[in-house]
Structure 1
């Protein structure tokens, strides 16, 4: 496959600037959740502790082990009263028990005029007509929930629930049920940052909120975890977006960088994924930087580049004519017929074979036994 990255990233008309005005992309409900579904399918491969190579296909989460243990216990016990949490939660529970909460911490129930509620585009995603229509079509007051609102000194701002607010306005409901949280900050930038953090935390595991929206809001609020995602994209001369010429596997990048709690490990992963993006961009082009290809390339960077067995430049040379789509198809077939355990680690294995096939001498080849199927 010919090198295409340089040409395609020059097409400015199809690229998405990360601004409130330009990220209002109309999608169907199915399309809204597609990116997050893809991101979690194989993401555990990247979250494996180093230097492990055997990868899991389970959906990754921060504190994944603790959560899986909780789920297992819940399924066995089935009652809230008897639930047994992981021992790793003890410290967190003790800290929370020692903290004094009041009603304002959880927000106050209030009914507010729909015309009082304001939307800050810097802390919200773009309005999607399809979602408003779905709310109206299935409208049920008893399951409507509460709109989360931030009370700033200049008014009430929607933190979560702007689509429900739009639905109320369309059907003529004048009062909206809200949970109102005080925003204590005096500076405008701090107010926005607090509201953005609340939005992202509320929607942390939501597939209804697209990664591009979380990215834009996180960058706007200057949140370090999303700024790291922006950095690895922009340092490769690329931009985030939803078009074919933009990097759109944002959930993958975010989770890979931010899964560890240790700052040194985070920085190491940030460098790894930046190198992986560079290799893919210089060989197969931006459209082929996907969740699967990026995860597989990260494995190669971790196992071979970081261990000084090869360099980024050598990998770019070896993969200059790689038929990535064909390798991915082979990896999927091997996974489906039981030859391998998951697609990502299989693709990494096939890429090493491709690399070695381009080496003239045996001492240039990469030790493929560092990987497993």
Structure 2
């Protein structure tokens, strides 16, 4: 009987149960907790400097319901503020300059470079970064190969890439766009040559490191490349006042090309002395 049933009433195939999809796991989702501001460390190099006007604006428009938790990284036993230093400054100011408990989202295990990258992404999403600020964060995070290389070459030649935060020190380059454009125009080797010429000629004088003069130098080095004698350049241009080069470059209204204006002045100073080999005019325009 049992064989008859099996033959005429075969069992229906059992459908496999759908695999249960595990909940997504995040290696570092962040933990929300309240922390006293006295325990928070801010002002890291990758952060925007605290702007008092921005702090006052926050106070005027203060609305607790619109505030996100302060983004914090717990590293090496300290709580580092990645995003929210303006909010903290505003809260302290409203509390008479005294510390206060604030809501934070704390991430564990981030490296300094990962903090900088997170800061960049948070600020970029809120469209709060200027070009120099975003470049500074990328330089600190190391995630942008081009910016990292520019920073390395600048520092190898003895300069400081101040990225808009000049302290008036010798060798500080504040310009962002002109420096990156110079690297793109020249490539690593010629870019390094340009920087070395600047250093050997004017020893890091900030007046020789304006955006316009950097652009002019890049065009000059690109144009004359193999014809340019570095020793001659240093000997002749070191006698030229950077203020004069800047003044004359700005006063040239024959072209709207800023780099060309300053490259012309540099060429004139290079050829200005009696004797010695002179360079022909090869600029376009």
Instruction: Give TM class, smaller chain.
Output: 0.5 to 0.7
Q: Which residue of 1 aligns with 2:239?
A: 321
Q: Which residue of 1 aligns with 2:63?
A: 141
* CA spacing shift, 1:209–1:255, aligned 2, 3 Å: closer
Q: 2:176 aligns with which of 251, 261, 266?
A: 251
Contact kept, 8 Å, 1:352 with 1:366, in 2: the verdict is: yes
Q: Which residue of 2 aligns with 1:304?
A: 224
RMSD: 4.2
How high is the TM-score relative to the length of structure 1?
A: 0.52
**Matched pairs, number:** 246
- Aligned to 2:252, the other structure's residue is in SS state helix
* CA spacing shift, 1:140–1:309, aligned 2, 3 Å: same
Shift in Å at residue 181 of structure 1? 8.3
Aligned partners of 2:191, 2:170: CA distance in 1, in Å?
Answer: 18
Shift in Å at residue 348 of structure 1? 0.9
Say if 2:160 is the partner of 1:160: no
Aligned partners of 1:328, 1:316: CA distance in 2, in Å?
Answer: 18
How high is the TM-score relative to the length of structure 2?
A: 0.65
Matches within 5 A, 1:294-373: 294-305=214-225, 308-335=226-253, 339-358=254-273, 360=275, 364-372=277-285
Aligned partners of 1:237, 1:191: CA distance in 2, in Å?
Answer: 27
- Aligned to 2:176, the other structure's residue is in SS state helix
* Structure 2 residues without counterparts, runs of 5 or longer: 1-23
* CA spacing shift, 1:332–1:313, aligned 2, 3 Å: same
* CA spacing shift, 1:275–1:142, aligned 2, 3 Å: farther
- Aligned to 2:71, the other structure's residue is in SS state strand
Q: Which residue of 1 aligns with 2:34?
A: 113
Higher-Rg member (1/2): 2
Say if 2:153 is the partner of 1:232: yes
Aligned partners of 1:287, 1:123: CA distance in 2, in Å?
Answer: 21
Higher relative contact order (CA 8 A, sep 6+): 1
* CA spacing shift, 1:320–1:371, aligned 2, 3 Å: farther
Aligned partners of 2:202, 2:223: CA distance in 1, in Å?
Answer: 21
Aligned partners of 1:145, 1:257: CA distance in 2, in Å?
Answer: 41
Q: 2:117 aligns with which of 177, 180, 197?
A: 197
* CA spacing shift, 1:209–1:168, aligned 2, 3 Å: farther
* CA spacing shift, 1:120–1:162, aligned 2, 3 Å: closer
Contact kept, 8 Å, 1:283 with 1:319, in 2: the verdict is: yes
